Amino acid sequence: MSLVANICENAKKAANTFAGISKDVKNSILLCLKNLIEENCEMIISANKKDLLLAKETGRNQAFLDRLTLTNQRIKEISEGLDAIISLKDPVGEIVEEYVLPNGLNVKKTRAPLGVIAIIFEARPNVAIDAAALCIKSGNGVILRGSKDSTESVNILVSLIKKALEENGISENLVGLIDSSDRSTSVDVLKQDKYIDVVIPRGGESLKKVVLENATMPVIASAGGNCHIYVSKTAKIDLAKQIVINSKTNRPAVCNALETLLVDKSVATSVVPLMCSSLLKEGVEIRVSERAKEYYPQGIIVTYEEMYKEYDDLIIKIEVVDGIDEAISHINHFGTHHSDGIISEDVVEIEKFMKEVDSSALYLNASTRFTDGFQLGLGAEMGISTQKLHVRGPIGLKELTSTKYCVYGNGQIRN
């Protein structure tokens, strides 16, 4: 048996026992983890600096370095995230539906853990904590496989997770860590369907492609975000400017950041130069379509293929469209079905946008930056699913459970 298979088998055994653990024990583990993270903040940052130094030496860009970086503030946010998860209702055992059949059988459809969830992620070391915490609260085991770029950071974080488990009498095997220095281990993980119930990729399209092509277990695809905002002819311009700036610049390297701005042709003369001026002040590089260049000649021409691109950087594409139908068509064609928005005061076109845009999260007069668990009331999230089975949108606690039927009888037999 390979080392990877052994780690996965041990996680499965631990998860089978852990499925019946009380919410109090789960919350105690998470509180202990929170305290350990706060107590070891400097050690975490020191490990992270080693990763950052290596990433800089290998020529990683600024957007990548931003995703990799752990600061005191980001560690504080990790800690706050654990508090949020602790405060959430435990989904395991929740009765989704209950009814009594004519023969007297009492049927209860209840929430149950998925089992063991594998998370393969890139760059962001905080994913190790988010994933483990969500899996623990939802009664699951977890296999973590980060990238070689975050090895030092992830190793220290996982050691704290294991310590929190042990201090609460739970096997440290519930959380397995796979060596990230050997690329072949990712494919090995994806073949462990005997022990792993579902895998979630957290990273770019290349990672998603590898997972979908090699996984022998179900995949919850957490795709990238070529996110759009459409500024309609009825938009309040000051509101639009505020939303566009926040969506693009609040944290440009994340998957719910704005990548493509669509402007209605009827207001393009005033809106496009205004948006470009405001974005330039924030250090954003402006790229424009042939039609948009008419309203902002200084922009760099964007190619057709580039319309599909997610920059993860301070770069934005601008296109001018002729009305709501063209805006919807553009988003559905070029988008990644992640997070897209409309800025409008027209009830008819708002409803049309909400019904016809095929994305997992849609926004009216609000930033796209809210598509994650902390902001949508889910505590934290395992990713943003852009597929339609078994979950779509932020993957929170309930999305990490399945259901089972518990049928109670008193001697019924089938004729």
Tens-level pLDDT at each residue, the chain (415 residues): 799 999 999 999 999 999 999 999 999 999 999 999 999 999 999 999 999 999 999 999 887 898 899 999 999 999 998 999 999 999 999 999 999 999 999 999 999 999 999 999 988 899 999 999 999 999 999 999 999 999 999 999 999 999 999 999 999 999 999 987 787 898 999 999 999 999 999 877 788 889 999 999 999 986 678 999 999 999 999 999 999 999 999 989 888 999 999 999 999 999 999 999 999 999 999 999 999 999 999 999 999 999 999 998 999 999 999 999 999 999 999 999 999 999 999 999 999 999 999 999 999 999 999 997 678 877 677 888 888 888 888 888 999 999 999 999 999 999 9
- Flag whether 355 is in a domain: yes
Domain containing 386 equals 3-222+382-408
Count of alpha carbons within 13 Å of 59, Cβ hemisphere only?
0
Same structural domain for residues 189 and 293?
no
Q: What pLDDT shows up at residue 315?
A: 97
Instruction: Identify which of 369, 376, 367 has the alpha carbon closest to the alpha carbon of residue 396.
Output: 376
In a domain, 173, yes or no: yes
CATH number at residue 298: 3.40.309.10
Question: Given this model, what pLDDT does residue 314 score?
Answer: 95
Domain match, 210 and 132 both: yes
Do 174 and 272 share a domain, yes or no?
Answer: no
Q: Is residue 193 part of a domain?
A: yes
pLDDT of residue 63: 79
Residue 335 is assigned to a structural domain of this protein: yes
Pair (171, 274) in one structural domain: no
Residue 386 has a pLDDT of 86
27 with 151, same domain? yes
Same domain, 217 and 251: no
277 and 394 belong to one structural domain: no
Asked if residue 186 and residue 96 are part of one domain, the reply reads yes
| Cα angle for residues 203, 207, 211 (degrees, 5° grid) | 120
Pair (288, 168) in one structural domain: no
Residue 210 and residue 294 in one domain:
no
| Spatial contact of 92 and 401, defined as CB atoms under 8 Å apart | yes
pLDDT for the residue 387: 84
CATH number of the CATH domain containing 56: 3.40.605.10
Indicate whether 74 belongs to any domain. yes
Examine residue 75 and state whether it is found in any structural domain, yes or no: yes
Residue 312 lies in a domain: yes
pTM: 0.84
pLDDT of residue 223: 63
Q: What is the pLDDT of residue 373?
A: 66
The predicted structure's pLDDT at residue 367: 97
What tens digit of pLDDT does each residue of 51-83 get?
999 999 999 988 789 889 999 999 999 999 899
Q: Is residue 377 part of a domain?
A: no
Residue 188 and residue 204 in one domain: yes
User: In the chain, how many domains are there?
Assistant: 2
Question: Residue 113: what pLDDT?
Answer: 97
> Do 199 and 262 share a structural domain?
no
